[in-house]
């Protein structure tokens, strides 16, 4: 069993940078636009300022909780995986206790933010917390872990809808499905990097279970469902023509991302996963928001 090195003295600003890097805080961009999508569709425009602020805080804290818990739960696996061995927790640049405090504070902030929105948001916040934390265990026993991660991220638009209306409807369920298939599909692609490690360690994933070539087919199928769900959402809600321009652009980017990778060449996977994904999230939100006023 790998031993965790002891953390050495690090300046507070450097420590903060390590924490933000460890939880990939900048990738909150993936979650927030879809949370805002649920928010503006529920309000049919701009929500109140307190709703906007507390939804933002809730989504950011939920993602921070998910990432910090993942780093804690997977710290021993991360230390063994060449791709992740340099992360701050396995190398000892961050202490386990520091990451645990971050997770606890994030959970507390999530509950406070949900309480400021409405009773249903507060009642469902612990459920959301269990889902986003529990996901990290799933690859130990099922190759369906990608779908569970997708649904964990799919909470964002549904949660924002609840934050505005205080109730749940079928429209945000369809939004959640679109996000779940989008994120789940890309998690399948991302897991292709760890194919050999997963096979060696007995971890479960679609690439490990079916092979990399089949995994790429699974991911394409998931993203076809994403495009179909987003199109159906626009038709269901009667959104204006800018929505369909954004849908077409996002769908084209999904196609482009799949052209960046192949079973024999995953070298551009990070470009597909991090860069283009961020563009898709922003495009869908911006064009949806524009369509409400047309």
User: pLDDT per position in the chain (294 positions), as tens?
Assistant: 444 444 455 777 888 888 888 887 767 766 789 899 999 999 999 999 999 999 999 999 999 999 999 999 999 999 999 999 999 999 999 999 999 999 999 999 999 999 999 999 999 999 999 999 999 999 999 999 999 999 999 999 999 999 999 999 999 999 999 999 999 999 999 999 999 999 999 999 999 999 999 999 999 999 999 999 999 999 999 999 999 999 999 999 999 999 988 888 888 877 666 778 888 999 999 999 999 987
Cβ burial 208-226 (10 Å sphere, 16+ → b, else e): beeebeebbebbbebbebb
Give the CATH number, domain containing residue 137: 1.10.357.140
Of 279, 219, 291, residue with least CA distance to 249: 279
Is residue 143 helix, strand or coil? Answer: coil
Instruction: With respect to residue 141, please indicate whether it lies within any of the assigned structural domains.
Output: yes
pLDDT at 1: 46
Q: Specify the DSSP class assigned to residue 193.
A: G
Q: Tell me the sheet residues that pair with 265.
A: 262
Domain with 173 in it? 25-292
Q: What is the value of pTM for the model shown?
A: 0.91
The answer to whether position 271 is within a domain reads yes
Distance from C-alpha of 261 to C-alpha of 223, rounded to nearest angstrom: 14
**Per-residue burial over 240-276, b = 16 or more CB atoms within 10 Å of its CB, e = otherwise:** bebbbebbebbbebbeebbebbeeeebeebeebbbeb
Residue 94: how many CA atoms within 13 Å on its side-chain side? Answer: 27
Residue 12: the pLDDT is 76
Q: What angle do CA 221, 202, 219 make, to 5 degrees?
A: 10
- The whole-number pLDDT of residue 32 equals 87
8 lies in some domain: no
Report the domain count for the chain.
Answer: 1
Q: State the Cα torsion 197-25-168-172 to the nearest 10°.
A: -70
**Domain-located, residue 6:** no
């Amino acid at each position: 069993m790998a031993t965790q090195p002891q953390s050495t003295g690090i300046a507070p600003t450097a420590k903060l940078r390590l924490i933000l890097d460890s939880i990939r805080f900048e990738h909150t961009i993936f979650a927030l636009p879809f949370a805002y999508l649920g928010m503006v569709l529920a309000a049919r425009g701009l929500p109140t300022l307190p709703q906007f602020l507390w939804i933002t805080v809730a989504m950011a804290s939920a993602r921070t909780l998910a990432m910090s818990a993942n780093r804690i739960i997977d710290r021993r696996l991360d230390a063994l995986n060449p791709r992740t061995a340099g992360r701050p927790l396995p190398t000892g640049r961050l202490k386990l206790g520091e990451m645990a405090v971050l997770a606890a504070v994030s959970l507390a902030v999530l509950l406070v933010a949900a309480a400021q929105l409405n009773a249903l948001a507060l009642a469902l916040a612990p459920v959301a917390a269990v889902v986003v934390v529990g996901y990290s265990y799933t690859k130990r026993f099922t190759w369906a872990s990608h779908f569970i991660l997708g649904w964990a991220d799919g909470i964002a638009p549904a949660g924002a809808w609840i934050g505005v209306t205080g109730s749940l409807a079928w429209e945000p369920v369809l939004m959640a499905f679109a996000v779940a298939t989008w994120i789940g599909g890309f998690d399948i692609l991302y897991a292709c990097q760890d194919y050999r490690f997963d096979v060696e360690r007995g971890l479960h994933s679609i690439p490990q279970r079916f092979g990399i070539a089949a995994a790429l087919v699974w991911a394409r199928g998931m993203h076809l469902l994403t495009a179909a769900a987003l199109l159906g959402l626009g038709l269901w809600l009667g959104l204006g023509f800018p929505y369909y321009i954004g849908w077409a652009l996002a769908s084209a980017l999904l196609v482009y991302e799949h052209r960046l990778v192949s079973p024999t060449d995953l070298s551009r996977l990070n470009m597909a996963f991090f860069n283009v994904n961020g563009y898709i999230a922003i495009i869908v939100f911006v064009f949806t928001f524009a369509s409400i006023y047309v």
